[in-house]
Amino acid sequence: MATQSAAKSAAGGAGSGQRPRLMLLDGHSMAYRAWFALPVENFNTTTGQTTNAIYGFASMLANTVRDEQPTHLAVAFDLSRKTFRSEEFPDYKANRAKTPDEFKSQVGLIGELLDAMRIPRMTVEGFEADDIIATLATAAAADGFEVLIVTGDRDALQLVSDHVTVLYPTKGVSELTRYTPEKVSEKYGVTPNQYPDLAALRGDPSDNLPGIPGVGEKTAAKWVNQFGSFDELVARADEVKGKIGEKLREHLDSVKRNRVLTELVRDVQLPLGVGDLARTPFDREAVGQLLEALEFRNPNFRERVYGVDPAGAELAAEVETAPGVAVEGELLTEAGALAAWLDEHAQGMVAVAAVYEWALGSGRVQEIALATGETAAWFDPAELAEADERAFAAWLADAKRPKALHIAKQVMRAFAEQGWQIAGVTADTALAAYLEKPGRRTFTLDVLAEEYLARSLAPAAAAESGQLSFDAPEHDATAGAQALMTQARAVLDLAAYFETRLAEVGATELLQEMELPIAELLARMERTGIAADREWLTTIESQFAAEIQRVVEEAHAAVGHPFNLGSPKQLQEILFGELGLPKTKKIKTGYTTDADSLTWLATQTTNELPVILLRHRDQAKLRTTVEGLLKTVSPQGRIHTTFNQMVAATGRLSSQDPNLQNIPVRTEEGRMIRRAFVVGEGYESLLTADYSQIELRIMAHLSEDEALTEAFASGEDLHTTVASQVFNVSNGAVDAEMRRKIKAMSYGLAYGLSAYGLSQQLGIKPAEAQGLMDTYFERFGGVREYLQRVVEEARATGYTETLLGRRRYLPDLTSDNRQRREMAERMALNAPIQGSAADIVKIAMLHVDRALTEAQLRSRMLLQVHDEIVLELAPGEREQVESIVREQMAGAYPLRAPLDVSVGVGPNWEVAAH
């Protein structure tokens, strides 16, 4: 084994008289700081691997090497908690919590990254990283090196000298303070050589080394300076007067042990000497593969990492000239140019990018760019010659010409306003990114290009909605065309990437057979909209406004003076001050007055104010909903909501502008609002269809529980049938309360509800709720086994999966944080059920739409809300459409507990309900 003495040749080989510089990093210390500095939830791969410590460590390493320019470099790691110190003192570091699994899994990957970067890393059995660093630093300093130590452990300060500097993190891993001998003295009042004496007297809670009660750093530093050394202080301990002296003498044995343990070992036998630590070029292929596997695609991060490769400028130039960053193409401004370009270049995959504006129920396309693997083109639709427009429209509508888009649904909506229909879309880069990582926060093209292509799309920017746009009045026309062609090329390259990636995660069929067709259907539904009765909306808005005023006056009368019902501060003063009502949950600003707290208060007092306040909030919310609907009614009298495919991680659709899922269904006021959605001119009525208890049928299917499946097959009311088995009574003996409890139980299990959550929902004690769950599982053992199995499988694989193969990754299933782990477990329970329900609804929508088209019917689909679809019936088509809807929805997926469909027809959404 090499020792610290094998360094002299390195010092002499620095060349040109330049002093060699050795940088030593405490790997565990810095990685752990990175772990705490960066939020775990923002750093996970699609396979569930947490990466925050790796990212932070690599960033710190790259930045520090860039700034300090060491000629030699090494990283030391702790091997285990069992060292000579723990043998000497079994409680050494025993107070430290178990290392989080998410952190431990990253240490090995940090090691792999260091190996790929060809940076030596060392561990030694029985010693800590500090001892390895002390050994190398001592030898290097003796051989003429300048030494830099990067560590978060203050024990390293004893190594500081004119030749050794400690870089200590003061803010995460981004800010490092330089500790020279002068800085150590200024900070702690002792020299670096005296620092172990100070640490022994002060103690170190992080290492579980007890100090002397009442003795802090100032007193310890005073003693060290007064007596000159720790040994001298111990020998003359009787000279320290008063109670503090008694404390010193009382704890002499422990502080003497501290002094032994604090001293770093400087002669550890190491596998490498200082001369072996000279920096060498990266294994660039291995670094690239690992960064890709870790999904570190941010170009700035990659440039920083590659920028410290000793290979130097050659690699940096490679990073800066990544292929595809700039795209050269043609500006098609002459008549016939677009048609000719399409004939020559648009035989294979072509990516389309566009700049367009949104208006209420309409849109306008301003610029379009096309890109292939070899070239690109740009044109202004408003300037197209008639023949060019015909050629472009024909190419768009040709299903045999493959096209790649970003957020295809939006492009389809905008292009439809130009009279163009798009077919042959085989790639949507936003939908592909969603299927690969459904929990991500944004799907804008610029972010995806940076993450997956290590490419910046500046100066063009993607709007938050995903719409491609830039400030038209201010940008140069040629530069704008260049930017849009660059975006189109990014779409093309992302499509190629995701083609491979989706195959790896089993999501290719989901994209091609479900999400892309649904995007096309939703685009048509959004453009069609649903007719709205503006007069009725105005009427009920006035009714809600009048009711709000009445409730305000009632509240003022109940208190005896006016106050602002919307002010939490005034509510706190009145509820808990003036009225002295029971205190709710304590928050920063006092006691909470949210809806749950007011509901609880209403059960704890006979005072009428909590009930009045709840009524006020309900009416205010309803009025806001109606006001929002009125604002979105188009001049043609229809409301055009926007459906979201990429918001819910489970795959469920949502809507916005307006949010139609926000309209209450079970209240009279909510039904009043639904009356405003009416059949449009030229159509006969609305038809609504939804699934009955689809989540519970899926749970029966997935669990293969025979008793639950038979309960569906009986044809009786499900909740009554299940309640009779759980409570061991006949169906006729099941009362409303029993049925209510079982209904809450069944749906609660499908949504991952805990016993405590069930108790809160039913207003019973947790023990009673747990007893109810236990009895339920006794009758339906297959459900219990399934719920246990699905969490265990998800913990092993890192993800859950729906019946159709949609994955949801849940890295927190292995978290040491109990709350996060339990939340992930609940997600693992409900994701397969909710996600499967969402997938089945989408399949049903596609089947119904296809059947309507094949039957050449005019009736059309308008809305999808939760598990319900709404159609507009053309005159004379009711019977045929109802038959299609029932058949296609019921046959969307074969479940052991077959799908059951309810259908209703009427002049408005409320009457058509069933």
Residues 478 and 552 in one domain: no
Which of 398-402, 718-722, 768-772 reaches the highest mean pLDDT? 398-402
Percent of the chain with pLDDT over 90: 53
In the predicted model, what is the mean pLDDT of the chain? 86
Asked whether residue 258 is domain-assigned, the answer is no
DSSP codes joined into one string, 369-425? EEE-SS-EEEE-GGG--HHHHHHHHHHHH-TTS-EEESSHHHHHHHHHTTT-----E
Determine the average pLDDT of the residues in 809-815.
Answer: 80
Asked whether residue 120 is domain-assigned, the answer is yes
Question: Is the pLDDT assigned to residue 171 strictly greater than 80?
Answer: no
3-state helix, strand, coil in the chain (%, to 5): 55, 15, 30
Question: 466-523 pLDDT, tens per residue?
Answer: 333 333 333 456 888 999 999 999 999 999 999 999 998 899 999 999 999 999 999 9
- What's the pLDDT score for residue 699? 93
- What's the pLDDT score for residue 790? 93
- What's the pLDDT score for residue 154? 84
Residues 378 and 439 in one domain: yes
Closest by Cα among 827, 822, 809, 830 to 51? 809
pTM: 0.70
Question: 439-451 pLDDT, tens per residue?
Answer: 777 899 988 888 8
Please give the tally of structural domains in the chain. 4
Residues 447 and 592 in one domain: no
* Domain closes at, from 237, 255, 277: 277
Question: Is the pLDDT assigned to residue 19 strictly greater than 50?
Answer: yes
Quickly state the pLDDT bin for 560 (edges 50, 70, 90). very high
Residues 578 and 699 in one domain: no
Question: Is the pLDDT assigned to residue 460 strictly greater than 50?
Answer: no
Asked whether residue 670 is domain-assigned, the answer is no
Question: 86-102 pLDDT, tens per residue?
Answer: 666 565 655 555 566 67
Residues 559 and 623 in one domain: yes
475/131 Cα distance (integer angstroms): 59
41/338 Cα distance (integer angstroms): 47
| Burial environment of residue 248 by CB neighbours within 10 A (0 to 12, 13 to 18, 19 or more) | buried
* Domain closes at, from 617, 639, 661: 639
Residue linked to tokens 């065309």: 481
Determine the average pLDDT of the residues in 114-132.
Answer: 91
- What's the pLDDT score for residue 360? 53
Residue 104 — φ and ψ, nearest 5°?
A: -60, -40
Question: Is the pLDDT assigned to residue 14 strictly greater than 50?
Answer: no
- What's the pLDDT score for residue 363? 66
Residues 94 and 21 in one domain: yes
Q: Say how many Å lie between the first and final Cα of the chain, rounded.
A: 82
Residues 134 and 48 in one domain: yes
Quickly state the pLDDT bin for 359 (edges 50, 70, 90). low
904/913 Cα distance (integer angstroms): 5
380/477 Cα distance (integer angstroms): 11
- What's the pLDDT score for residue 603? 87
Q: What is the CATH number of the domain that holds 783?
A: 1.10.150.20
- What's the pLDDT score for residue 705? 92
* Higher pLDDT pick, 308 / 313: 308
Residue 792: domain span:
695-830
What contacts 686, CB < 8 A, 6 or more positions away?
Answer: 677, 678, 679, 862, 870, 871, 872, 873, 905, 906, 907, 908, 909, 912
Quickly state the pLDDT bin for 316 (edges 50, 70, 90). very low
Asked whether residue 882 is domain-assigned, the answer is no
DSSP classification of residue 684:
-
Which of 206-220, 291-305, 512-526, 645-659 reaches the highest mean pLDDT? 512-526
CA atoms within a 13 Å half-sphere pointing along the CA-CB vector of 707: 16
Determine the average pLDDT of the residues in 581-592.
Answer: 86
Quickly state the pLDDT bin for 433 (edges 50, 70, 90). very high
Residues 543 and 634 in one domain: yes
CA distances from 68 to 71, 706, 767 (A): 9, 69, 62
Determine the average pLDDT of the residues in 143-155.
Answer: 91
686/786 Cα distance (integer angstroms): 40
Question: 546-557 pLDDT, tens per residue?
Answer: 999 999 999 999
* Domain closes at, from 624, 639, 654: 639
Q: What is the CATH number of the domain that holds 464?
A: 3.30.420.10
Asked whether residue 248 is domain-assigned, the answer is no
Closest by Cα among 912, 860, 911, 910 to 881? 860
Asked whether residue 586 is domain-assigned, the answer is yes
Q: What is the CATH number of the domain that holds 564?
A: 1.20.1060.10
Quickly state the pLDDT bin for 40 (edges 50, 70, 90). confident
- What's the pLDDT score for residue 78? 84
Determine the average pLDDT of the residues in 261-267.
Answer: 84
- What's the pLDDT score for residue 120? 95
- What's the pLDDT score for residue 47? 63
Asked whether residue 655 is domain-assigned, the answer is no
Residues 481 and 353 in one domain: yes
Question: Is the pLDDT assigned to residue 462 strictly greater than 70?
Answer: no
Per the DSSP assignment, residues forming a β-bridge with 175 are 171
- What's the pLDDT score for residue 221? 72
Burial 534-560 (b: 16+ CB within 10 A, else e): eebbeebbebbeebbeebbeebeeebe
Residues 36 and 177 in one domain: yes
42-51, 319-328, 587-596, 732-741: the lowest-pLDDT one? 319-328
Q: What is the CATH number of the domain that holds 36?
A: 3.40.50.1010
Residue linked to tokens 């491609």: 468
Residues 476 and 360 in one domain: yes
Which pair of tokens denotes residue 179? Answer: 């500790």
Percent of the chain with pLDDT over 70: 87
901/856 Cα distance (integer angstroms): 23
Residues 458 and 558 in one domain: no
Asked whether residue 897 is domain-assigned, the answer is no
Determine the average pLDDT of the residues in 635-659.
Answer: 92
